[in-house]
Chain A
Amino acid sequence: MFELFGISSQALFGQLLIGLINGSFYALLSLGLAVIFGMLNIINFSHGAQYMLGAFTAYFLLQYAGLGYWWAIFLAPIVVGITGIIIERLFLQWLYKLDHLYGLLLTFGLALIFEGTFRNFFGSSGLPYSVPPALQGGRNLGFMFLPNYRGWVVVFSLAVCLTTWFVIERTKLGSYLRAATENPTLVRAFGINVPRMITLTYGFGVALAALAGVMAAPIYNVSPQMGANLIIVVFAVVVIGGMGSIMGAIVTGFGLGLIEGLTKVFFPEASNTVIFIIMAIVLLIRPAGLFGRSA
């Protein structure tokens, strides 16, 4: 144990860990938003609801099928991703040529429907979901106590983020995605089925949200409005990082989580607003975001 500016290391690192955990969710969610926006030109306002659907899917799998966390982390993204694919085919595909506003309104409406429906059936008090047995307990790192599950969330989401970055920036499939983001008409005229790629991209982005939801379930409760609270902050993260930049979304997500944690230690009054203050400053100085390419 040691002290820094009169704050115990336990408290400091504890808050930094909470910041990293929040940052993991910010990064996963803003990454999905960035991928979706890049390909579909749609600001996916139902992202928070899809995160909530991921958590509820984990809950249902456990309640009704006896399938635990490890099944859920694999199945829930697939199930929710498929609902995303259906939404894209039914609704979103008609909006690409219109103003961003239409996609935003449609996905916002869907979010209200999902969240309202779940509130109707499950109320707004959260449902518990326990940490998987393999990750219960924690370890003493000397300077702080690290609950195993929280360590897992940070490491696993970082791995998912970096894998996604690698696939998009360094592989052949990624070169199709990047090219189609720039000029879908030409990529299609080379013989690539761009509409199918767009559909799958939306499914993938939504699956990332659901994955975050599953990971969140043992930390927060499973509740209908869990995504609505989070997504507002995530949109601020996206604005700060800049729409459409993959690495930007990851770095900004983790970075802002940490900044939020530090603020809780040194200036707790501002901890809920610090991200929005940063957003306002970034908007004034670099409207395209820290990593964004100005159009």
Chain B
Amino acid sequence: MLSPGAVPLLAVEGLQAWYGESHVLHGVTFDVIAGEVVTLLGRNGAGKTTTLKSIMGIVGQRTGSVRYEGKELIGLTSDRIARLGIALCPEERGIFASLDVEENLLLPPKVRAGGLELDRIFKLFPNLQERLSSQGTKLSGGEQQMLAIGRILRTGARLLLLDEPTEGLAPVIIEQIGKTIGTLKQQGFTILLVEQNFRFASTVADRYYVMENGRIIDRFANAELEANLDKLHDYLGV
């Protein structure tokens, strides 16, 4: 499935992670090529969020290997990892209540050149511009999601980790987020997307990995989605 010789931007190998005593990831292996949108599918509790957190370095204990541009991330703290050009949009969105929308948007520091300018971000999410001085958490769920995505586009990060960006949102907003992901892909961003909604994922993803009980149990390309639908319904229990 990988074109031979392509060097992955992100290569995860034998990744294990723990929350205290509880062993959650049991050797996760996958990779993401520069410019791809790759989706992690899987039921609730499969370990998708933990995988993103482990890449970002915010899980208590992790072992195995996570390489970004060939550089080993295991052992680095999350601020160092962010400065290499990886940014997380967390599942709970993480909008700060004590910051207004503008402060939330400008919070993540620039880590590299080449981030989107503010006016580009406002073009993607016009709602944000109208509400710059509102308290961050006064926004609607959809607007908070746009803010959570928008703020990591400025930083120059090239790999975006998006954790269920459509969860709990209205269909129009899901569509807007889908378009945004498409635009970002055109602009050369690489995206690792966690989704339970594979209908949505199929509109943006190049490839899929399926997780269960802290392991990758299957993988296929977008073109193979139809052929894998039965299996997928089984995996996701839908």
Residues A175 and B79 in contact in the complex (CB < 8 Å), given A185-B58, A186-B90, A187-B107: no
Residues A191 and B99 in contact in the complex (CB < 8 Å), given A172-B106, A185-B58, A185-B78: no
Q: Mark B138-166, 1 if CB is under 8 A from A, else 0.
A: 00000000000000100100000000000
- In-complex Cβ contact of A179 among B78, B79, B107 (8 A): B107
- Tell me whether A178 is interfacial, beta carbon within 8 Å: yes
A191 and B156 CA atoms in complex are apart in Å by 12
A26 and B108 CA atoms in complex are apart in Å by 35
A183 contact set on B, CB distance < 8 A: 94, 96
A188 contact set on B, CB distance < 8 A: 58, 77-79, 82
- In-complex Cβ contact of A189 among B58, B96, B98 (8 A): B58
Q: How far in angstroms is the closest Cβ of chain B from A104?
A: 24
Most chain A beta carbons < 10 A, residue from B56, B78, B87, B99: B78
B79 contact set on A, CB distance < 8 A: 188-194
Query: Which A62-95 residues sit within 8 Å CB-CB of chain B?
Result: none
Inter-chain contact A191/B109, CB cutoff 8 Å: yes
Query: Which A184-214 residues sit within 8 Å CB-CB of chain B?
Result: 185-194
- Tell me whether B217 is interfacial, beta carbon within 8 Å: no
Inter-chain contact A178/B98, CB cutoff 8 Å: yes
Inter-chain contact A178/B99, CB cutoff 8 Å: yes
Inter-chain contact A189/B99, CB cutoff 8 Å: no
Using CB atoms, name the residue of chain A closest to B87: A190
A191 contact set on B, CB distance < 8 A: 79, 82-83, 108-109, 111, 155
A186 contact set on B, CB distance < 8 A: 88, 90, 94
Inter-chain contact A175/B99, CB cutoff 8 Å: yes
- In-complex Cβ contact of B82 among A175, A176, A189 (8 A): A189
Residues A190 and B106 in contact in the complex (CB < 8 Å), given A181-B98, A182-B96: no
Inter-chain contact A179/B155, CB cutoff 8 Å: no
Using CB atoms, name the residue of chain B closest to A179: B96
Using CB atoms, name the residue of chain B closest to A182: B96
Using CB atoms, name the residue of chain B closest to A194: B79
Inter-chain contact A175/B103, CB cutoff 8 Å: yes
What is the total number of residues of chain A having a CB less than 8 Å from a CB of chain B? 18
A188 and B77 CA atoms in complex are apart in Å by 9
- Tell me whether B214 is interfacial, beta carbon within 8 Å: no
- Tell me whether B57 is interfacial, beta carbon within 8 Å: yes
Residues A189 and B83 in contact in the complex (CB < 8 Å), given A175-B99, A178-B99, A179-B98: no
B107 contact set on A, CB distance < 8 A: 175-176, 179, 187, 190
- In-complex Cβ contact of A192 among B57, B94, B98, B109 (8 A): B109
- Tell me whether B97 is interfacial, beta carbon within 8 Å: yes
B98 contact set on A, CB distance < 8 A: 178-179, 181-182
- In-complex Cβ contact of B99 among A179, A190, A193 (8 A): A179
A142 and B96 CA atoms in complex are apart in Å by 51
Q: How far in angstroms is the closest Cβ of chain A from B145?
A: 15
Complex A-B, nearest 7 residue pairs according to Cβ-Cβ distance, in ascending order: A191-B82, A190-B108, A178-B98, A189-B78, A175-B103, A186-B94, A179-B96
Which residues in A have some Cβ–Cβ distance to B below 8 Å?
Answer: 172, 175-176, 178-179, 181-183, 185-194
Which residues in B have some Cβ–Cβ distance to A below 8 Å?
Answer: 56-58, 77-79, 81-83, 87-88, 90, 94, 96-99, 103, 106-109, 111, 152, 155
Give 12 A-B pairs besides A182-B96, A190-B87, A191-B79 with Cβ atoms closer than 8 angstroms.
A175-B99, A178-B96, A179-B103, A182-B98, A183-B96, A185-B78, A187-B107, A188-B77, A190-B107, A190-B108, A190-B152, A190-B155
List 19 A–B pairs whose Cβ atoms lie within 8 Å, in order of A's numbering.
A175-B99, A175-B103, A176-B107, A178-B98, A179-B99, A182-B96, A183-B94, A186-B94, A187-B107, A188-B77, A189-B81, A189-B82, A190-B107, A190-B152, A191-B79, A191-B108, A191-B111, A192-B79, A192-B109
